[in-house]
Amino acid sequence: MDKIIGLGNALVDVLATLEDDDILYEMGLPKGSMQLIDEVKLQQINDKFAKMKTHIATGGSAGNTILGLASLGAGTGFIGKVGNDKFGQFYRENLIKNSIEEKLLMSELPSGVASTFISPDGERTFGTYLGAASSLKADDLTLDMFRGYSYLLIEGYLVQDHEMIIHAIELAKEVGLQICIDMASYNVVANDLEFFTLLINKYVDIVFANEEEAKSFTGKEPQEALDVISGMCSIAIVKVGANGSYIKKGTEEVYAKAIHVRKVVDTTGAGDYFAAGFLYGLTCGYGLEKCANIGSILSGNVIQVIGTSMPKKQWDEIKLNINTIISE
């Protein structure tokens, strides 16, 4: 089976479920977005969280996807940067516990934290303090980090450091990896559109986008956006939430339904886990439709829990459902 390594912001998610969205307006966080925050804003949020029930989990877009892949038994690794603190230790221990090859670098800065607000409808909004995660630089990366893998997954949240992203891709390409990118957030795409366009045109093999990100990138609705993006890379995936996903490779196009979910608890990681399921299918050599259906199973399950950690019983059920798809 092919192995996948992720490159991303090593963040610890601190999640809080809201009774209403008032705190989002108070903190200046547009609902459904990811906003970078400084230490002052982080402290303001922490003061709010101190009065609320919170849940802690490892996070970051690529980190979530790699965790999902590892939970299915795929060979995985992760490159990121953490601080020498309790959150950094927590992140490292979680990678090891899940048999993920950890390639974590250390920073003098505090570990990154994603303050995650879960609205009553399950939508999530992030106030992200990058801290140590933002200090990952091109010079930190070596060719050996990428050896032995078949795919490199990059999260779109890293694109602000153009030099580091290009260097990572060049190293990965040198040892024969295919490049996957998850666009990450509509506002991130809009703010760095020219660089996203360069990456996807020149380097990227597989693109994951939700409908808002696809629209930010192309200015078009999902199916038209799919056509545009697929013309720039090998495989394009546009996710449309409860309405499923569209996938296109060359002239082959498939649609996958989302699984029915009685109650959405928290949409954190939904797209990341779809990518995990899809990439797991690819590493197993399955066709696009089976890959997408596996992605739908994972994303439909993770939105039924707070955060991105699912109990063993739930993973056992997921694996049974995947086996059913495989045997069809």
User: How many angstroms separate the Cα of 17 from the Cα of each of 46, 49, 138?
Assistant: 14, 10, 37
Where are the chain's structural domains?
A: 4-10+60-111+131-327
| Strand boundaries in the chain, DSSP class E | 4-7, 11-17, 34-36, 54-59, 76-83, 101-107, 112-118, 124-129, 151-155, 178-182, 206-210, 235-239, 245-249, 252-256
Fold of the domain spanning 4-10+60-111+131-327 = UDP-N-acetylmuramoyl-L-alanine:D-glutamate ligase (3.40.1190)
Please state the rounded mean pLDDT for residues 315-327.
93
| Per-residue model confidence as pLDDT tens digits over 251-298 | 999 999 999 888 888 887 899 999 999 999 999 999 999 999 999 999
- pLDDT score at 122: 85
| Per-residue model confidence as pLDDT tens digits over 89-145 | 999 999 999 999 999 999 999 999 999 999 998 888 989 999 999 999 999 999 999
CB 188 within 8 A of CB 157: yes
Q: Which residues pair with 7 in a beta bridge?
A: 79, 154
Name, in order, each residue with C-beta under 8 angstroms of 146's C-beta and a sequence gap of 6 or more. 5, 152, 171, 172, 174, 175, 177
pLDDT band at 307, cuts 50/70/90?
confident
User: Can you tell me the distance from the alpha carbon of 181 to that of 234, in angstroms, rounded to the nearest whole number?
Assistant: 12
- Kindly state the tokens that stand for 97: 């516990």
**pLDDT exceeds cutoff 90 at 1:** no
- pLDDT score at 166: 97
**For residue 299, with 0-12 CB atoms within 10 Å meaning exposed, 13-18 middle and 19 or more buried, which class applies?**
buried
> Residue 95 is inside which H or E element, if any?
helix 86-97
Residue 328: what residue type? E
- Mean pLDDT value across the chain: 93
- pLDDT score at 39: 87
> Residue 276 is inside which H or E element, if any?
helix 270-283
pLDDT band at 315, cuts 50/70/90?
very high
Pairing between strand 245-249 and 235-239?
antiparallel
pTM greater than 0.95 (yes/no): no
User: Can you tell me the distance from the alpha carbon of 237 to that of 249, in angstroms, rounded to the nearest whole number?
Assistant: 9
pLDDT band at 32, cuts 50/70/90?
confident
- Kindly state the tokens that stand for 285: 């050599």
